[in-house]
């Protein structure tokens, strides 16, 4: 029996897909296959296999050290895996034991920046064929399964801000005399000076870099809609067509990985950290547009045919269906616990400032970009949706999206009512978003509904990894240097 069969995955259909892929690898002259998986931080890790080994891995898996699931932002293992009881809360991880990666044959894509190289998405499993509970992709799959039991799916569109810089000197990062853990970032300068939102001249100035992003995204099969100049120096935004949540999360991981690699080869450095460690920058956000749809027929379950009687645009049910209004209320009710899952880095909390197109308080508004939740659309509009502006682009997309589902469903199930929408998102008197990672993690731990939805083992795993980051940040004498090494060089 193959390992894929022991995991309960290997159907006749999957076997046929494996055979098709084996033929495709030969026909395309593929020389190497990168088998990649997403870690706790939303970063891709992986192994490069020769074609025959990649084909074997489709059925038998390929080994990986289990500590790769336990790394903090400096790539340090957050558990004492070699001490008795050091992994008591994580059975199966003592002694840096092995896991197996099982690739998905349907995920094959050729990397447009690396001729002869293909990529396969994989997920980790224990050697006995049981899934790793806190595998972040599995966390989203579980949330979507909960939604599917009601005949519903989750649709989202990626709208991602990030920064691109031109490399001026990569030598410090690669100098063996300066090697450290974590290491130095490269030296850079900007690709446009900023402060001219959507400026046509800025677009032309940054065109060479933007062309690389375009070729990479389209070459990976991502549904790129537009590339735009954002307000900040060297800041850009990529917008994609809406799709189902699992596909969108997969696309977010591929985008960040691919853009960074392709740009690096051409002399650029891309970063998806929220606030690069330079003066006078603008924070990058990840605005998660979301709607719930019927699996049978695809109707937008947030849309209503006509405003509820007696309502005005400040009322949730003027724009949203009863389900949509409950979902909105759930996102508001669980906002403190959602915060670290949407903004998981210490750096990202610098974004929550007034009058900066970023939220500061737990509010919703009708087409209001200062509110945490922006309701877009109207009665009869099939594109009616909720935009959650809480996130940063370094968030793990699987965990971030799963958290939306659990919070939204809780609002629906508890029949929560949203307050009236705001027209003054930065006014005093409203409940604030947690303003630091420590408080946000405490809110997550204390939120029984979110812990139940995500699973206690998932929350404990996430919080422990982030606590390691907090402890190292507290011990760092130079906080800017911490940002450069932990985030700018790696995210």
Query: Among candidates 26, 10, 268, which has minimal Cα distance to 162?
Result: 268
Provide the sign of the torsion angle of the four alpha carbons 286, 292, 298, 304, taken in this order.
negative
pLDDT mean over 324-338: 97
Mean pLDDT of the chain: 94
Q: How many CB atoms lie within 10 A of CB 464?
A: 17
Q: How many CB atoms lie within 10 A of CB 189?
A: 10
Separation CA 273–CA 294 (nearest Å): 35
pLDDT of residue 383: 92
370 φ, ψ (degrees, to nearest 5): -95, -15
- For residue range 301-311, list pLDDT tens digits in order: 999 999 999 99
Separation CA 392–CA 256 (nearest Å): 13
Separation CA 466–CA 461 (nearest Å): 9
pLDDT of 315 > 90? The answer is: yes
- For residue range 443-491, list pLDDT tens digits in order: 999 999 999 999 999 999 999 999 999 999 999 989 899 999 999 988 9
What is each CA distance from 69 to 49, 121, 253, in whole angstroms? 20, 16, 16
pLDDT of 172 > 90? The answer is: no
What is each CA distance from 451 to 412, 427, 461, in whole angstroms? 17, 31, 12
What is each CA distance from 408 to 51, 217, 258, 396, 402, in whole angstroms? 43, 30, 31, 18, 10
Chain position carrying tokens 């591929």: 254
- For residue range 384-422, list pLDDT tens digits in order: 999 999 999 999 999 999 999 999 999 999 999 999 999
Q: How many CB atoms lie within 10 A of CB 453?
A: 23
pLDDT of 354 > 90? The answer is: no
pLDDT mean over 140-160: 96
pLDDT of residue 153: 97
Contact (CB, 8 A) for 273 and 165 = no
Contact (CB, 8 A) for 206 and 192 = yes
- Per the rule left: phi > 0, alpha: psi between -120 and 50, beta: everything else, 221 is left
pLDDT of residue 94: 86
pLDDT mean over 423-434: 91
* Alpha-helical segments (H) within 286-351: 316-319, 322-333, 335-342
pLDDT of residue 197: 85
108 φ, ψ (degrees, to nearest 5): -55, 130
| Per-position b or e across 420-436, b if 16+ CB within 10 A of its CB | ebbeebbeeebeebbee
Separation CA 112–CA 54 (nearest Å): 19
pLDDT of residue 232: 94
pLDDT of 70 > 80? The answer is: yes
Rg (CA), the chain: 22
Separation CA 40–CA 341 (nearest Å): 11
Separation CA 252–CA 450 (nearest Å): 23
| Cα 489–chain centre separation | 18
């Amino acid at each position: 029996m193959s390992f894929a069969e022991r995991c309960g995955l290997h159907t006749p259909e999957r076997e046929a897909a494996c055979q098709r892929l084996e033929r495709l690898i030969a026909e395309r002259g593929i020389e190497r296959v990168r088998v990649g998986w997403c870690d706790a931080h939303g970063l891709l890790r992986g192994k490069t296999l020769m074609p025959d080994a990649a084909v074997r891995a489709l059925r038998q898996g390929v080994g990986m050290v289990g500590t790769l699931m336990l790394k903090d932002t400096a790539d340090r293992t957050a558990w004492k895996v070699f001490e008795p009881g050091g992994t008591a809360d994580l059975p199966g991880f003592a002694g840096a034991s092995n896991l197996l990666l099982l690739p998905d044959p349907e995920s094959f894509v050729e990397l447009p920046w690396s001729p002869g190289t293909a990529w396969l998405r994989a997920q980790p499993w224990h050697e006995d064929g049981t899934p790793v509970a806190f595998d972040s992709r599995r966390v989203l799959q579980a949330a979507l399964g909960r939604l599917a039991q009601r005949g519903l799916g989750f649709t989202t569109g990626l709208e991602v801000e990030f920064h691109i810089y031109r490399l001026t000197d990569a030598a410090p990062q690669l100098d063996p005399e300066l090697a450290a853990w974590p290491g130095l970032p490269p030296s850079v300068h900007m690709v446009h000076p900023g402060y001219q939102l959507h400026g046509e001249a800025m677009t032309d100035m940054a065109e060479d870099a933007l062309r690389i992003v375009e070729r990479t995204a389209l070459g990976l099969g991502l549904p790129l809609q537009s590339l735009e100049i954002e307000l900040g120096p060297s800041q850009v935004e990529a917008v994609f067509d809406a799709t189902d949540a699992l596909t969108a999360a997969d696309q977010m991981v591929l985008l960040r990985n691919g853009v960074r690699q392709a740009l690096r080869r051409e002399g650029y450095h891309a970063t998806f950290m929220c606030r690069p460690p330079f003066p006078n920058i603008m924070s990058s956000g990840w605005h998660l547009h979301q709607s719930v749809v019927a699996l049978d027929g695809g109707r937008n379950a947030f849309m209503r045919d006509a405003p509820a009687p007696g309502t005005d645009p400040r009322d949730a049910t003027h724009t949203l269906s009863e389900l949509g209004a409950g979902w909105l209320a759930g996102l508001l009710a669980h906002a403190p616990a959602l915060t670290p899952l949407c903004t998981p880095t210490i750096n990202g909390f610098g974004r929550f400032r007034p009058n900066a197109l970023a939220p500061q308080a737990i509010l919703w508004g009708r087409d209001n970009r200062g509110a945490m939740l922006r309701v877009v659309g109207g009665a009869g509009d099939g594109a009616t949706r909720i935009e959650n502006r809480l996130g940063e682009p370094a968030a793990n997309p699987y965990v971030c999206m799963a958290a939306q589902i659990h919070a939204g469903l809780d609002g629906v199930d508890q029949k929560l009512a949203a307050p009236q929408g705001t027209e003054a998102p930065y006014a005093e008197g409203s409940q604030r978003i947690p303003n630091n990672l420590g408080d946000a993690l405490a809110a997550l731990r204390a939120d029984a509904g979110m812990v139940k939805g995500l699973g206690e083992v998932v929350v404990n795993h996430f919080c422990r990894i982030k606590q390691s980051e907090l402890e190292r940040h507290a011990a760092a004498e130079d906080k800017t240097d911490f940002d450069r090494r932990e985030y700018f060089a790696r995210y």
